[in-house]
Structure formats: C-alpha cells, structure tokens
Structure 1
C-alpha cells in the first residue's frame, strides 16, 4: 500500500516568496531521490506557475499563493493555487499567457503553460475560486528506489 504525504505552504503572492517555494520543492524532491535534472525541471515549472499567480492573479493587490506538494512512491504533484482572477484554458490556447493577458502584456514568461507542459509529465489547470495549476512528475525507477 502506498502512503500519500502532503505538505502545504501558503505564502504572500509576492516575488520574494517564490524562492521559498523552490527551496521547499528541492527538499521534498531530494528526499524522494528525484534526479538533479528532474528537480531542476520541476523548479522551473513551479516558478512559472508561481510567477503567473504573482504577476497576474491579483491585479497589483495583496493576495496569497497556496502550494501543495503531494507525494507517493511513484510521483510528486505540486498544486499552485491563487485566489485571484481566473483565465480560461481556451484563452490560453489563443494566447499562451495566463489570467487573460496577451503575450505582449506579460513581463516575464508568457510561454509559461507550454514550458510547464514540456518539463512535467502532466499539467492540469482548473478554475474554481481562482486558478490552480497542478504539475506532476513521475519518479524514474532505479535499483536504489525500486
């Protein structure tokens, strides 16, 4: 039986807290024995999700980001939730940016959703009381982790 573990971190939607989320991810992924390359990919993907929330969800007003790290023996899922203005997946297909912004309006990123999809095994976006981006990376089986 696989035991699922959950770590939740809630931080202000401010750029200086994205590093705290990345450090937490590094600690959890290291304990799960993810490869250095996989950890770096996850850090980039999580940074993109967090940056979108910081830059676009609250329209310059104070807000928060809730990050949930869910682990089991086979994968790590990271959910980045903001409680601000949502966007639709259809909008993101027309314009690769999030929260209804066009690529020209994005200060950093702009291709964030596509980058997240390239770096992670599965990406899911839901809108309910804000936007939640769930990023999942499967663990590679090695002799050490089998």
Structure 2
C-alpha cells in the first residue's frame, strides 16, 4: 500500500539589513512574499508582518540604539503535514540583561516616552511560538514560528 503522508519540504531565506528604521518595512514585505508560497490567509500574513516589524524595530531601537549595525534574518518555510513559517531576527547589539523582564507588557528601556514597551507582547500575540535569547554585549536572537492553516 502506498504511503499517503505528504512530503515535507523546506525552503530557506537569509537576509542581512542595515539597522535603519526604513528597513523594517522591507523586512516585513520580504517575509510576506516569501511566506506566500505556503498559501496563508490574509490574517496569517498580517500576523507575521506585525511580528517581524516589532522584532526588527526592537533591533534598531534597542539593540543598536539607533547606531549603525546589521540585522540578520533567517526565514524558513516548511510545507507538508505541518505547514509553518519560522522567522529568526538577530542583532549583535547591546543585548538584554533580563529577558523575562523585557518581555513583560509595557516594559521599555526607552526613556524618551515614545515607545510603548509592547513589542514582545505583540510578537507573542501574533505568532504561535516566540523564543528570545540574549546576552549583554552580544546581541539578541528572536525566533518566532507561525503555523499556517490551523
């Protein structure tokens, strides 16, 4: 008898961006276009775009404090029995001394009062899985996963 399970297929995209605020939009659009091969709903695309925007914005504003740096993105599309998109956003900036505290709603290191401190909360609300790893002086890695078609 023939095995009816779907073959799992993975595709990968790697992107390096300068830590400029206008690259947040570019990262969001590139991710949405890459994600489109998974046949997501508009809501799923919007969710991922919002989460990517927050992760890249955090790297620009908090990771590099507006200074020059590089933001690294790795995006993996997996189709098959469990269709998903995994987005990793990494910076080599100042890092986060207390990740647990930084992930609390309304927490921000921005003293100007212009930032709401909701970046990680939005990522968690719009993605199915979010993991943050950081070390002071070595940068931050945010790994987010969205299951498609659930």
Give the TM-score, by structure 1 length. Answer: 0.85
Q: Which residue does 1:125 correspond to in 2?
A: 132
1:92 counterpart = 2:102 = yes
- Give the C-alpha shift of residue 91 in structure 1: 2.5
Q: Which residue does 1:112 correspond to in 2?
A: 119
- Give the C-alpha shift of residue 109 in structure 1: 4.3
Q: Which residue does 2:72 correspond to in 1?
A: 66
Deviations 1:46-83 (CA, angstroms, capped at 9, x unpaired):
10111111111112321010111111111000001011
Deviations 1:23-58 (CA, angstroms, capped at 9, x unpaired):
111111111101000100110111011111111111
| Preserved contact between residue 48 and residue 109 of structure 1 (Cα < 8 Å) | no
Structure 1: 5+ residue runs without aligned partners?
A: 142-146
Q: Distance in 1 between matches of 2:93 and 2:105?
A: 19
Pairwise CA RMSD: 1.9
SS at match of 1:4: strand
Q: Distance in 2 between matches of 1:93 and 1:27?
A: 28
Q: Cα distance 1:83–1:106, how it changes in 2: closer, same or farther (>3 A)?
A: farther
Q: Distance in 1 between matches of 2:99 and 2:18?
A: 25
Give the TM-score, by structure 2 length. Answer: 0.83
Structure 2: 5+ residue runs without aligned partners?
A: 1-6
Q: Distance in 2 between matches of 1:106 and 1:131?
A: 23
Aligned length: 138
Runs of 4+ in 1 over 4 A off after TM superposition: 93-96
